[in-house]
Chain A
Amino acid sequence: DIQMTQSPSTLSASVGDRVSITCRASQSISRWLAWYQQKPGKAPKLLIYQASNLQSGVPSRFSGSGSGTEFTLTISSLQPDDLGTYYCQQYSNYWTFGQGTKVEIK
């Protein structure tokens, strides 16, 4: 099984800050990685697919990078609406999610 590990577990930043979340795979997954945002009490929402492709309708302040085993989700200028938990997911071999990164606004 492919394991996904995110860091940090919690991130606290101010509005306007640039923030990054890292996701590491236990083996190479090429670029078969997606990022989701989940707001409290809601279903997850797709942000990024194939490591760096922005899903339609997602603000351009979100971006993704990486390949192989290491990936990054970056929010270029954190907004109040960005609070929530972010999950990476590999879809190279079945489907596995990272444990999540909770983003808080200072």
Chain B
Amino acid sequence: QVELVESGGGLVKPGGSLRLSCAASGFSFSDYYMSWIRQAPGKGLEWVSYMSSSGTNIYYADSVKGRFAISWDKAQNSVFLQMSSLGAEDTAVYYCARYSTSSVLDLWGQGTLVTVSS
């Protein structure tokens, strides 16, 4: 079964760090580009980060640049999002998603909730 499963969310204090994981099954990450997208409670979707299949091209939204880092592990067939210097504005459900050959997000995980609060 082709799916993405995120984990690692939780409650973290302002200024803290958290590492999200996204495990793929049914396909290999090395064949696809991947992104993280987030959605604050009751709000719309915001693209956060992108990584090409080779890992060569990596991009971040201005709102997270310098604080978040995307990476992947071939052996684990997983993508990660390392988040640091977290603030209340980072509170959101974080989704990982896969790009199709048409460059759109055709497979999404179920999301993992990150809450930044003291």
B interface residue count range (under 10 / 10 to 19 / 20 to 34 / 35 or more): 10 to 19
Q: Of residues 31 to 65 in A, which have CB atoms within 8 Å of B's CB atoms? A: 32, 34, 36, 38, 42-46, 49-50, 53, 55
**A interface, size bucket:** 20 to 34
A-B pair number, CB within 8 angstroms: 52
In the assembled complex, the Cα of A98 lies from the Cα of B59 at a distance in Å of 20
Given contacts A50-B102, A53-B102, A91-B103, contact A45 B108 (CB under 8 A): yes
Q: Which of A38, A91, A98, A100 contacts B104 (CB 8 A)?
A: A91
In the assembly, what is the distance between CA of A55 and CA of B102, in Å?
10
Mask of A75-106 contacts with B, CB within 8 angstroms, 1/0: 00000000000010101001111111000000
B100 interfacial contact with A, CB 8 Å:
yes
Which A residues are within 8 Å of any B CB, using their own CB?
32, 34, 36, 38, 42-46, 49-50, 53, 55, 87, 89, 91, 94-100
